[in-house]
Amino acid sequence: MEHLLSYPTVKESPFYEKVRGGRIRCLVCERGCIIADGERGFCGTRANIGGRLYTLVYGDLSALESRPIEIKPFYHFYPGSSALTFSTWSCNFRCPWCQNFAISTALPDPPSAKYVPPSKLVEIAIKQGDDGLCASFNEPTLLLEYTLDAFRLVRERGLYSTYVSNGYMSEKALKALVEAGLTGLKVDVKGDEEVYRRVLGARCEVPWRNVKLAKELGVHVEVVFLVVTGVSDREDVIRDVIEKHLKYAGEDVPLHINRYFPAHKYWEPPTPVEVLEWACELARREGVKFVYLGNVPGHRYSHTYCPRCGELLIKRYNFDIIEYRLTEDKRCPRCGEEIPITGRYVRKGLRWIHLL
């Protein structure tokens, strides 16, 4: 693998520790892969080369688009703004229903990589008139070292930095991201402990731990729960997610309950809308103040309502803000309830520009 060291997308990572026999333990995500010399970890983007950990995807971008922040979805974070959204290859999960499987199942190939330096990424965002950066599409933790450098640069230019993640990064990685300038984190939870163990070979407590830690570190957090037919649509799974949301995220953190559609290797029917409506209503009864129903354009639960008086505050359709009625100090104009919105409302209109 030494021949890969000459490529710009191959860079030594500080997120590892040495173990016996020339092996190393990757500290990027909670899988904690122990990697022998000349081998890659579970995700395929980290390699042991001569007893050191290298990322193979530094600046190797699989997609680059200017997109509305609502599509992430972030509903309480700089509403109406747009983010330069970028991704790399592979994933540390193997979700059978992955919508982005074309990139999440592909392994990086440094000789054919499309290298975009962090400084160029930032300049593209500014040129396009975007309000920040968003690492998304595949698991952004695989771009950890690159996003650390990009986030430091973009913070100097007064823009925000966000992750759309499965939340399985290590605590060390999350703390490094916050130090570099991470301002928004969307965590996609998959279900209860049984779903994580059986489908993903992972632990349920990790993403919830990171939700709690990110909040404590001052990051804006929103949670998404994709209700997958035959996997996470059972009442006990839905109740478990709502219970953990209240425990680790809290009542003010938005909970997006999203509709699944068949993709990749999983072809069960789409989630019935009535199941999603029941889950949203249950979450509200249990105390979650801001619950949204996703992937059903025009649904009444895609709007923001005042949790005190029920006034319609933000009306949306298909990732676009149709009406914004909050006061300048982010309160309900009817009863004065303070609504937890991070950042200013940007009156931009729907933006969607493909750049790579």
**What pLDDT does 318 receive?**
87
Q: Which residues of the chain have pLDDT under 70?
A: 349-351
Token pair for 279: 């889950």
pTM of the model: 0.97
pLDDT digit string (tens) for 168-222?
A: 999 999 999 999 999 999 999 999 999 999 999 999 999 999 999 999 999 999 9
Nearest to residue 101, comparing CAs of 227, 265, 232?
Answer: 265
pLDDT digit string (tens) for 148-161?
A: 999 999 999 999 99
**What pLDDT does 349 receive?**
66
**What pLDDT does 1 receive?**
81
State how beta strands 11-12 and 52-55 pair. Answer: antiparallel
| Amino acid at site 250 | G
**What pLDDT does 59 receive?**
98
Domains of the chain: 2-55 (no CATH), 63-354 (3.20.20.70)
**What pLDDT does 28 receive?**
98
The DSSP-derived string for 57-126 is -TTB-SEEEEEEGGGTT-SSBSTT-EEEEEE-S--S---TT-TTHHHHTPPP-GGG--B--HHHHHHHHH
In whole angstroms, give the CA distance from residue 247 to residue 105. 33
Please name the residue that has the structure tokens 């949203």: 280
